[in-house]
């Protein structure tokens, strides 16, 4: 999302617009979680700090001044400062040796780390799909995103069945090569 768009969302958040705040969270949480995770090196701590940082962003959005810093820079400094505060706090953790606390708090909602990983995966797939030739890309996308069979693909694309099968097979081989770690 562009800095101007983030600045507009921050301005709307300052007016207590919950929808704008939700959009701001969706647009920035993965990156800010990455910042917290790099500093704290623990996913559970990073999630707690990120939640606290967004409460602060909600409460302090009216203090953001576009001329002084970019919106992401301003939010990153809040996350960074919260991380440093977290590291300075006395360590008072309860041991969860049998995993009962974690199991009691698990939810179906995907956290920021999972969103970040999904975003990276989606970007990699998109990049690799763009590298495919036109007919290969179309055949692979129709097969996997719309769930069409080879026969349905041939009908939709108005191409011979053998050609469609070849495009899908070769396209998948190229995607596998493109997506596999070097």
pLDDT, tens digit, for every residue of 104-122?
Answer: 555 555 666 676 667 777 7
CATH number, domain containing residue 131:
1.10.10.10
> Residue 71's pLDDT is what?
92
* Mean pLDDT calculated for residue range 12-16: 94
Number of domains composing the chain: 2
Are both 7 and 84 inside the same structural domain?
yes
Residue 162, in any domain of the structure: yes
More confident residue, 16 or 120: 16
C-alpha to C-alpha distance for 131 and 127, rounded to whole angstroms:
7
What pLDDT, on a 0 to 100 scale, did the predictor assign at position 129?
A: 83
CA neighbor of 63 nearest in space, from 48, 80, 78 = 78
Q: Give the model's confidence band at 88: pLDDT under 50 very low, under 70 low, under 90 confident, else very high.
A: confident
Could you tell me where the beta strands, DSSP code E, fall in the chain? none
Segment 73-79 shows an average pLDDT of 93
Both 77 and 18 in one domain: the answer is yes
Evaluate whether residue 48 is within a structural domain. Answer: yes
Q: Which two structure tokens, joined as six digits, stand for 77?
A: 């400094």
- Averaged pLDDT for residues 52-78: 92
* 148 lies in some domain: yes
* Cβ(10)–Cβ(71) below 8 Å: yes
The domain that contains 58 carries what CATH number? 1.10.1740.10
Let me know: does 39 contact 84? Beta carbons within 8 Å: yes
pLDDT for the residue 73 = 92
In a domain, 93, yes or no: no
User: What range defines the domain where residue 153 resides?
Assistant: 112-179
- Indicate if 8 and 82 belong to the same structural domain: yes
| Same domain as 80, residue 10 | yes
Question: What pLDDT, on a 0 to 100 scale, did the predictor assign at position 128?
Answer: 85
User: What are the E-state strand segments in 4-53?
Assistant: none
Confidence band for 148, pLDDT divided at 50, 70 and 90: confident
Indicate if 19 and 66 belong to the same structural domain: yes
Q: Are residues 117 and 169 in the same domain?
A: yes
Q: Are residues 59 and 131 in the same domain?
A: no
pLDDT surpassing 70 at residue 90: yes
- 10 Å CB burial of residue 142 (0-12, 13-18, 19+) is middle
- Inside any domain, residue 101: no
């Amino acid at each position: 999302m562009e800095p101007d768009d983030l600045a507009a969302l921050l301005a709307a958040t300052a007016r207590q617009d919950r929808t704008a705040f939700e959009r701001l969270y969706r647009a920035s949480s993965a990156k800010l979680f990455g910042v917290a995770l790099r500093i704290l090196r623990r996913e559970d701590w990073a999630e707690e700090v990120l939640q606290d940082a967004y409460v602060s962003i909600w409460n302090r959005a009216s203090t953001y001044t576009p001329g002084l810093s970019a919106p992401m820079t301003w939010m990153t400094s809040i996350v960074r400062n919260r991380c440093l505060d977290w590291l300075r706090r006395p360590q008072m953790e309860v041991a969860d040796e049998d995993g009962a606390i974690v199991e009691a708090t698990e939810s179906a909602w995907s956290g920021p780390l999972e969103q970040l990983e999904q975003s990276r995966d989606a970007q990699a797939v998109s990049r690799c799909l763009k590298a495919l030739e036109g007919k290969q890309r179309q055949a692979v996308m129709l097969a996997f995103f719309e769930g069409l069979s080879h026969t349905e693909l041939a009908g939709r694309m108005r191409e011979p069945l053998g050609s469609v099968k070849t495009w899908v097979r070769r396209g998948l081989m190229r995607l596998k090569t493109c997506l596999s770690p070097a």
